[in-house]
Amino acid sequence: MYKSIAVVGATGAVGTIILDLLAKRNFPFQKIKFIASKRSAGNKIIFKDKEYIVEELQPSAFDGVDLAIASTPDDVARDFIPEATKRGVLVIDESGYWRMDPDVPLVIPEVNGDAIKNVKKGIISSPNCSTTQLVVALKPLHDYGQVKRVVVSTYQAVSGAGLVGTRDLENGSRAELNGQSYNYECFPYPIAFNCIPQIGSFKDFGYTSEELKLLHETRKILGDNSINVCPTAVRVPVANCHSESILVETERKITVKLARELFAKMSGVIVIDEPAEKKYPLPNICTGRDEVFIGRIREDISSDNGLAFWCVSDNLRKGAATNAVQIAELVNK
């Protein structure tokens, strides 16, 4: 058992869920501290009926800590995580900064939990939220039929852009319905009653940074650089839960019946696939859940070994907080 743990970014949207999960799952520790930006330092947090004062994020905050779960922007992770590891802290990092470092394992416990054995820098990365649900869904198909190619379109909730993204949807929708104007804080275009086909900055070949994460992180987690991924990432006016339309081509044919069986056996997956009853995963029924939900499973009528399906997952939970806590539980065994 780790004696002293810390939650970095404890007052943020993901940090507050991490606190809730640590309490509900009875994560073992002797001491715990909560760390956040200077703006939040000094605030009070009630955790398991005890009051704590939030400490400012600075190198000395990691003194005496054994394990830290960190949810911070990339530049903060770049600057402060090395300060933690210098002090012997094992850091589970939610940011994107360390994910593609060859010496940092990128882990989804249900998919590649053994990768935690390869920690070299004192850092374990948790994947991007859209990658996590994609790879959890791909894992049983890859194990059985060898995934060759993936075409994935994401429909990503505003909560993925943080509290300011949620505020933009709420205030923008209210203004639109009342015939008023609203100055968006987060998005370059109105998100209310709209879709924005850009998440992140544009990079090589016209793909965005968010889209390229789906390619590179998928390959790293599954340990297979031969997998081809064609991604499109879209921000949609949904409060929470990312949805994905996924088309997979495999070396070995997978029927719809077999796919349902493979998904049902996969840890962390729930199948909702009753088209005759109009039952399939929806963001408003998957929010607040820790699983990856799959439905609309069907054969691809345009290719022999293609399989199409719909996938929904709570991006703040399995896409972020839950996965990080699951990693912590794994290393704590």
Give the rounded percent of residues in the chain with a pLDDT score beyond 90: 98
For residue 1, pLDDT over 90 is answered with no
**For the chain, where do the domains classified as CATH 3.30.360.10 start and end?**
130-314
**For the chain, where do the domains classified as CATH 3.40.50.720 start and end?**
4-127+320-331
Report DSSP state, residue 318.
I
Rounded mean pLDDT of 109-116? 97
Rounded mean pLDDT of 109-118? 96
Q: Is the dihedral of CA 26, 28, 31, 34 positive or negative?
A: negative
User: Out of 142, 241, 242, 286, which one is annotated catalytic?
Assistant: 242
For residue 208, pLDDT over 90 is answered with yes
Identify the pLDDT of residue 313: 98
- Predicted confidence band of residue 115 (pLDDT cuts 50, 70, 90): very high
Q: pLDDT tens for residues 3-52?
A: 899 999 999 999 999 999 999 999 999 999 999 999 999 999 999 999 99
Closest CA relative to residue 42, chosen from 23, 57, 32: 57
Q: Are 300 and 234 in contact (CB under 8 A)?
A: no
Identify the pLDDT of residue 333: 78
Long-range Cβ pairs for the range 20-26 (8 Å, 24+)? 21/321, 21/322, 21/325, 22/47, 22/325, 23/47, 23/48, 25/325, 25/329
d(CA 152, CA 207): 13
For residue 194, pLDDT over 80 is answered with yes
d(CA 312, CA 296): 11
Q: Which residues of 55-93 are buried (b: 16+ CB within 10 A; e: fewer)?
A: bebeeebbeebbbbbbbbeeebbeebbbbbbebebbbbb
Q: pLDDT tens for residues 227-278?
A: 999 999 999 999 999 999 999 999 999 999 999 999 999 999 999 999 999 9
- The chain-wide mean pLDDT, for the chain, equals 97
Terminal C-alpha separation, the chain = 8
Q: Is the dihedral of CA 322, 222, 215, 82 positive or negative?
A: positive
In this prediction the pTM is 0.96
Question: 129 is written with which tokens?
Answer: 């939220």
Rounded mean pLDDT of 154-183? 97
Neighbouring-strand partners of residue 92: 69, 124
Identify the pLDDT of residue 297: 98
Identify the pLDDT of residue 2: 80
Q: pLDDT tens for residues 66-105?
A: 999 999 999 999 999 999 999 999 999 999 999 999 999 9
Rounded mean pLDDT of 170-187? 97
Please state, as a whole number, how many other Cβ atoms lie within 10 Å of the Cβ of residue 236: 17
Rounded mean pLDDT of 297-316? 97
Q: In what order do the strands lie in the sheet with 242-250?
A: 228-235, 147-156, 242-250, 306-313, 292-299, 269-271
Q: Outline where 198-315 has alpha helix (H).
A: 209-222, 256-265, 283-286
Identify the pLDDT of residue 119: 95
Q: Which value, to the nearest 10 degrees, does the dihedral of the CA atoms of residues 104, 122, 209, 302 take? A: 40
Residue with tokens 């921000």: 235
Question: 12 is written with which tokens?
Answer: 């943020």
Neighbouring-strand partners of residue 50: 47
Identify the pLDDT of residue 215: 98
Active site residue 129: yes
d(CA 230, CA 247): 10
Please state which CATH number belongs to domain 130-314. 3.30.360.10
d(CA 257, CA 140): 14
User: Out of 129, 241, 286, 311, which one is annotated catalytic?
Assistant: 129
Classify domain 4-127+320-331 at the CATH superfamily level. NAD(P)-binding Rossmann-like Domain (3.40.50.720)
